[in-house]
Amino acid sequence: MIRTAISNISQYVNSIGKSIKLIWQTYPAALLGLSIIVVLQGGMPLAMAWIIKLLFDALEKGLSSNDSIPWAYLAELLIIQAILALGSQALSATQSYLNAELVRRLTIRINSIVYEKVNSFVGIAYFEDPNLYDTIRLAQEGAEQSTFGIIDGMMSLGQGLVTLISFLGVLLAFNPLLALLVFLSALPHLYTQIKFGYQRFGLAFGLSPQHRERFFYSSILSNPEAAKEIRLFNLGSFFLKRLLRLFEFTQNAERQQQLHETRWNLILSVFSSLVSWIIFVVVVLQAFSKQISFGDVTLYISTAEAVNSALIGIVVSLSGLNQDALFYTYFQKLLALPQPIPLASHPKTMRDLEDRIEFRHVSFRYSERHPWVLHDVSFIIPAGQCLALVGLNGAGKTTIVKLLTRLYDPVEGQILWDGIDIREFDPIELRRQLGIVFQDFMHYDLAAQENIGLGDVQHIENIERVRQAAMKAGIHERIEQLPQGYQTQVSLMFGGKDKDGVNVDLSGGEWQKIALARMFMRNANFLILDEPTAALDAQAEYDIYNRFVELVAGKTSLLISHRFSTVRMANWIAVLEDGKVTEYGSHNQLMALGGRYMELYNMQANRYQ
């Protein structure tokens, strides 16, 4: 129990310390300015209370004696009070500006840190694991909110402490027992607020899957790509009901937490009011017994209220800081995440393929909780030749591509590039050797030139190179017909307008050619095509593959396709079944073998007879 408490306090202090360090590194002048303002604002209530005390003492003296009222003295006090009030307003305005500017700069810095870290992951395991993905999402969302909360919390805490310390001497001088009573009255607030902080944090983490699911339904209802199917199958109401059900579920959980907090806050506010009433009674009784002046009455009542408010404010600030520190830990967890795949400390130099790529006894599964996807897979891709992978869905074809590109590493076995394990290369250097088109390729909401140029981002401004890639993919003429040619935005969201003012978008087959052009943009040594012509008609597919065969002559390539008219163009064919290579050879060799390949080939050929 004690060890857990010490660990929590240590984690809390560590998170707050690192957050303050981040704030200091982002905008030190603002942090210094805010600290000075906090001290001044914290001492302002005592200064105002003391001026009021002096005013009442002067009035009492003037009214209770034959002496004339000291108007000059009263005027001085009123002028000082006005200056203090104006100063407080000026400090508040300056604090608001510095706080807003600090938030703006922190927003940029935090997003830069988060996305640089996310972008640094050379593998994709974290993005495909729901639990780790939640860590990334909470870090992205929580880092900003928690840091901003820590700024506000530290400012409120600092101001409360200065106010408390400044009034403390006054209250102790008046009645030490009342000072002790005020302190004791704050302890229940401290306990409940810290408990509430942990409950809110637990609630936010517990509802993370529902928030993720809610995002899915809200995005699919407004996604242009899903709009056709949703309307054709009348799915809008179905998805909307699920979305609203999730809203009700999450909001009901949040409502229950808020009701729980409200009940306790009401109880504690009664207790605080009782303490204030006791102090008020004691002060009034002493005033009637002429132990203190009317000015002292205003001072002591202001002191009691200020100390009580400061203590509660400190408690609330500490609770908020505790909650923000808990969220900030996800930011720290994200920054502490190791690479999902190990990197060689002294990577070997990557050279163009000269001999072959070899899968040697490769086995793979996504985690210990998942079944094996590949079992003892071995095959070779000779340099300058094409290998086609054939198999039913789920056989492991795309997993092989992920391993070749080092998005994952094999659990067992090796993938060799001219006899060298690809884990000994820098993944970035390895990927520079690769040109790839996935079946689920990206549609970037960018100009046509940028969509293609992203294949080799260093030459994205080289329009001639972009045009050459577009010609190879057979999309050049279509792009030239767009309203602004290669500068046309091709998307429904940000698309360029045609002559009728309609947003410009491309067909599925045209987008596929854009993806192929992106691959041709890169002068790659090894080409990988994962079902690259699935959205093309028969004529377009035939044209693309004839062109592809010409363009990849002398280059090593891997082809994944369900169309055997395409597969037979490859030099070598590997048949995958249940994560194993069951057949390997040329088209003629496999047909002569009379095995699974011939069965699948004839099955597809019969559909065209």
Q: Which residue has the higher pLDDT, 588 or 229?
A: 588
Query: What does pTM read for this prediction?
Result: 0.74
* Helix spans in 410-462 (H): 427-432, 448-453
What pLDDT is recorded for position 424? Answer: 96
What confidence tens digit (pLDDT) does each residue in 533-545 have?
A: 655 666 666 666 6
Residue 239 has a pLDDT of 83
Q: Judging by beta carbons within 10 Å of its beta carbon (0-12, 13-18, 19+), is residue 409 exposed, middle or buried?
A: buried
Check residue 50 and give its pLDDT: 85
Looking at residues 126-152, what average pLDDT do you find?
75
Q: Are the beta carbons of 67 and 61 closer than 8 angstroms? A: yes
Q: What is the pLDDT of residue 605?
A: 75
pLDDT-derived band of residue 498, with 50, 70 and 90 as boundaries? low
pLDDT value of residue 8: 58
Least confident of 1-10, 283-292, 309-318, 439-448: 1-10
Spatial separation of the C-alpha atoms in residues 236 and 221, rounded to whole Å: 7
Token readout for 76 is 């001085």
**Lowest model confidence (mean pLDDT) among 111-125, 233-247, 312-326, 442-456:** 312-326
User: What is the largest distance, in Å, between two alpha-carbon atoms of the chain?
Assistant: 128
User: What are the backbone dihedrals phi and psi of residue 582, each rounded to the nearest 5 degrees, phi first?
Assistant: -100, -25
pLDDT of residue 450: 94
pLDDT tens digit sequence for 231-271:
767 778 888 898 899 889 988 998 998 898 888 888 877 87
Per-residue pLDDT at 454: 92
In the structure encoding, which two tokens stand for residue 517, read together?
A: 């052009």
Q: How far is CA 306 from CA 160, 184, 258, 299, in A?
A: 9, 15, 27, 10
Per-residue pLDDT of 429-487, as tens digits, reads 999 999 888 877 888 888 999 999 999 999 999 999 999 999 988 899 999 998 889 99
Model confidence band, residue 119 (pLDDT cutoffs 50, 70, 90):
confident
Question: By CB neighbour count within 10 A (0-12 exposed, 13-18 middle, 19+ buried), where does 287 fall?
Answer: middle
What integer pLDDT is reported at residue 4 of this predicted model? 55
Residue 62's pLDDT is 65
Provide the pLDDT confidence category of residue 67 given band limits of 50, 70 and 90.
Answer: low
449 vs 465: CA distance, rounded Å: 10
Residue 123 has pLDDT above 80, yes or no: yes
114 SS3 class: helix
Rounded to 10 deg, the angle between the 130-174 and 208-221 helix axes is 120
- Cα 371 to Cα 308, 390, 396, 578, 579, distances in angstroms: 61, 21, 12, 11, 11
CA–CA gap between residue 569 and residue 561 (Å, rounded): 11
Residue 407 has pLDDT above 90, yes or no: yes
The confidence score (pLDDT) of residue 549 equals: 67
Percent of the chain with pLDDT over 70: 89
Bridge partner list, 421: 416
Residue 299 confidence (pLDDT) above 70: yes
pLDDT score recorded for residue 69: 66
Nearest residue to 443 (alpha-carbon basis) of 503, 514, 502: 514
Asked if 146 and 20 count as a contact pair (C-beta separation under 8 A), the reply is no
pLDDT in tens, 372-386: 999 999 999 999 999
Mean pLDDT of the chain: 83
DSSP string covering 512-535: HHHHHHHHHHS--SEEEEESTTTT
Least confident range from 257-271, 539-553, 571-585: namely 539-553
pLDDT of residue 224: 63
pLDDT digits (tens, 9 = 90+) for 78-100: 888 889 889 889 998 998 899 88
According to the model, what pLDDT value does residue 609 have?
58
- Percentage of residues of the chain with pLDDT beyond 90: 25
CA-based nearest residue to 524, from 429, 448, 439:
429
167 contacts 303 by C-beta, under 8 angstroms: yes
> What pLDDT shows up at residue 73?
78
365 pLDDT more than 90: yes
**Pair 597, 573: CB distance under 8 Å:** yes
The predicted-structure confidence for 172-228, as pLDDT tens digits, reads as follows: 777 777 777 777 777 787 778 778 877 877 787 788 788 778 878 887 777 766 776
C-alpha–C-alpha distance, residues 163 and 198, integer Å: 27
Complete domains list, the chain, with CATH: 11-336 (1.20.1560.10), 443-523 (no CATH)
Q: Residue 251's pLDDT is what?
A: 87
pLDDT at 495: 56
Minimum mean pLDDT among 120-124, 306-310, 322-326: which range? 322-326
Nearest alpha carbon to residue 317 among 164, 518, 149:
149
